[in-house]
Structure 1
Amino acid sequence: MLEAYLFPISYAFLTFPIAALLCAVPFLIVQYRKYGYFNKFRGFLLYLFLLYMMNAVYLVLLPLPASRHNAPMNVASVMQWIPLNFIQDILKETKVVWREPSTYMLLFKERAFLQVVFNVFLVVPFGMFLRYYVRSTWITCLVASVGLSLFFEVTQVTGIYGFYDYPYRLFDVDDLLLNTMGGMVGFLLAGWMKNHLPRLDRLDEKVDLSQKRVSYTRRTIAFCMDGAIVLPLIGVLTVLNLKGAYFIVVIAYYIVLPYMMQGQTLGTWIVRVQIRGAGEHLKLKEVMIRNGLLYVVWGGFHVLLITVNTAGSQILLVMYVIGVVLLDGAVFLHVLLCLIYRDRKLLHEAKSGTRLAIVDNHSINKAG
């Protein structure tokens, strides 16, 4: 019986790093948008919940049938609608002599009883999370627990929504009752535990966003978001044979747009940061130097490599490639030094006199 639970749990832990990486950017963006920064304790809770949900889903679904074309189960019906039928199952299978308390421990070795315990404990963390993290009411927790359990049961009885030819698990109304009970037990436990854990509504009380640095993780997310917008535009204009498509799009998006939109592109808006200059208002010159060095000059060297490649001169191409590699090496070393020495400013920021600042909900904080 224990091995049946250890198998899906081990798979959940093995695949958790992959899921954690896939969820990292959405988690960070939500935290940046909602709170203005990433709190490690709050992030720990989110990843803990992700690990729990993976374990819960794997426990419910695994092991899977060997083939999509599985055989039907040898049962009269795949639906069990009799409430509290688990009591009868326990009484049928148990070796406990109810008049002898010394035999009660045998319950913890019996399948029917352990199945009941499993179904209750499966949703306990869910109820705890809803009350502590989401701060939901007991009614919300009750409805959500029923919904989660119903999702599990429907997924099983439909053969993962038709993926398998036949259901490979029963739909059991007792599972709905026990799962829901587990969610409510978790809700009650969270009421006690929250007195021994940090209050989530007070995590941000002493946080001054104006004193927080804009992390390189945050910069990278904004950079990638902007790239996902700009690169397709450049590609479309290039296919349409528009000369200088790269420079037209880059100047419009990275220089004109930030100047008009108070130092923000779509990527920096998503992560709640903006470019700030030396004065109260961002100057066009400051944006031109900052993003010009980064996207027009550095990015332009890479784009012009295509032109050199089609020029027909192998010597010129080799020399240009060496130059680009050396430039990239210098940029990489410079960024690495900035990562190591936090007081060191990136070249395009130092030359333009600009910095990235976290955008407050009500005002612009002077964070760098």
Structure 2
Amino acid sequence: MANLAPYISSIRLIVVMFPFLAILLLLPFLIRQYHRYGAISGWMVSVNYAFVFYILCAYALTILPLPTIEQVKQMTGPVENFHLFNFVRDFTTYSGFVLSQPDTWLHAAKTPQFTQPFFNLLLTLPFGMFLRYQYKKSFLTSLVLSFGLTLSFELIQRSALFGLYPRPYRLFDVDDLFLNTCGAMLGWLISGPLGKMLPKKEDIVETLEERSHKVSVSRKSVAILLDLAIIMVSDIAYNLIVGQPNQYVIILFYIFWVIIPELIGWPTLGQRLIHLQLVDKSGKKAGFVCVLLRNLFGYVLVYGLFAGELYVLNQTGSVVASELGTYYFLSLFGLFLILVFVLSLAVSLFTKQFFHEILSGTRLASTYQNKSEE
């Protein structure tokens, strides 16, 4: 177990980091699910997360723990092995294994000559299973992808971690290429019978397509967040290019990316990516007044509410004592309005409508087409 300590430490590091990465990946995962299927499957999202977690662990195990530069400078061993099946010769020579003597088998299985090749085989076993079960890759495609994955492991090691170290601190080994690739293909084979015990992707997709015409609160939220992200990225890009931030530019981007498309009757980019379009209560194109009311209640007032609350809080540190009472009252009133806004979001989980949709008489309708309908 002492030899496994560095690897356990590497996995522990990924476990600590992964929740933060999961939050960053949540919106892209949701966008992909809604764009492809029109609805979300918790199982499919979980499997995709598991795949990302596995990839991170695999690279961590092949790169970490990182030695110091001084330790690497003192290394004098070989940096590469191009002799295939060298692990077989090492096992038969140094493990003490004798086929005709069963009492040597257990001892041989505990030696590094066995455990290192064995763990190299296990390292990529999940990769092949994911390729077949989740991503429906053929044997030949999986073989190419598996070889590419393990080759990336070895090239990173051979490059001395992209030149950060004076020399490689791990061995570039063709035996590892062979064992990792074999491990992945073994996982591909195992995934066949194992996949029969897990939910079938075809059945999940069929269920998702049945739900695709129902627009959930989370689906609307993803469209809104995506539009806001596009506006913010556009504003940041403008500021970087021009070099002179302008607070009114973000308003112009909002008008360009959201209000103008909705007035014309086009979906915004966020709505288009997840197959939604703005309509009125009857399902027809939303009118001019409805679009303006929707954006007034949904974005302008909410943004102004939070901006106003921040302004009042900032002013409390600089105004004279006689005016503090007024600012405290305004601050509490703003917090009350924010609480009302948060409660309205909670109510929307049950009503399936946001307050600005109710007040403006608009809704987001699904434009997703099932594959059988396309």
TM-score by length of 2: 0.83
Q: Aligned runs of 1:300-311 on 2, under 5 Å?
A: 300=304
Identity of aligned residues (%): 30
| Letter aligned with residue 337 of structure 2 | A
Q: Which residue in the other structure is 1:136 paired with?
A: 137
Classify the secondary structure of the residue corresponding to 1:282. coil
Q: Which residue in the other structure is 2:286 paired with?
A: 282
Report the Cα distance in structure 1 between the residues aligned to 2:5 and 2:306, rounded to whole angstroms.
Answer: 56
Q: Which residue in the other structure is 1:64 paired with?
A: 66
Report the Cα distance in structure 2 between the residues aligned to 1:2 and 1:239, rounded to whole angstroms.
Answer: 54
Unaligned regions of 5+ residues in structure 1, if any?
Answer: 364-368
Report the Cα distance in structure 1 between the residues aligned to 2:277 and 2:325, rounded to whole angstroms.
Answer: 39
User: Shift of residue 295 of structure 1?
Assistant: 3.0
**Closer, same or farther: CA 237–93 of 1 in aligned 2, 3 Å:** closer
Q: Aligned runs of 1:61-100 on 2, under 5 Å?
A: 61-67=63-69, 70-71=72-73, 73-75=75-77, 77-100=78-101
8 Å contact from structure 1 (residues 159, 165) kept in 2 = yes
8 Å contact from structure 1 (residues 72, 166) kept in 2 = no
Q: Which residue in the other structure is 2:303 paired with?
A: 299
Q: Aligned runs of 1:14-29 on 2, under 5 Å?
A: 14-29=16-31
Q: Does 1:353 align with 2:361?
A: yes
**Closer, same or farther: CA 126–241 of 1 in aligned 2, 3 Å:** closer
Report the Cα distance in structure 1 between the residues aligned to 2:311 and 2:19, rounded to whole angstroms.
Answer: 42
Q: Aligned runs of 1:1-368 on 2, under 5 Å?
A: 1-67=3-69, 70-71=72-73, 73-75=75-77, 77-206=78-207, 207-215=210-218, 217-219=221-223, 221-222=225-226, 224-229=228-233, 231-232=235-236, 249-262=253-266, 264-279=267-282, 280-300=284-304, 323=330, 326-327=333-334, 329-340=336-347, 342-343=350-351, 345-361=353-369
User: Shift of residue 250 of structure 1?
Assistant: 4.2
Classify the secondary structure of the residue corresponding to 1:342. helix
| Letter aligned with residue 338 of structure 1 | L
User: Shift of residue 241 of structure 1?
Assistant: 7.4
Classify the secondary structure of the residue corresponding to 1:185. helix
**Closer, same or farther: CA 72–148 of 1 in aligned 2, 3 Å:** farther
**Closer, same or farther: CA 303–316 of 1 in aligned 2, 3 Å:** farther
TM-score by length of 1: 0.84
Provide Cα deviations, 1:320-356, integer angstroms capped at 9, x if missing partner: 7854763454244333343255127433111111122
8 Å contact from structure 1 (residues 12, 55) kept in 2 = yes
User: Shift of residue 11 of structure 1?
Assistant: 1.9
Report the Cα distance in structure 1 between the residues aligned to 2:9 and 2:309, rounded to whole angstroms.
Answer: 52
Classify the secondary structure of the residue corresponding to 1:355. strand
Provide Cα deviations, 1:217-249, integer angstroms capped at 9, x if missing partner: 52552353244156448979995879x666555
**Closer, same or farther: CA 240–27 of 1 in aligned 2, 3 Å:** closer
Classify the secondary structure of the residue corresponding to 1:349. helix
| Letter aligned with residue 109 of structure 1 | K
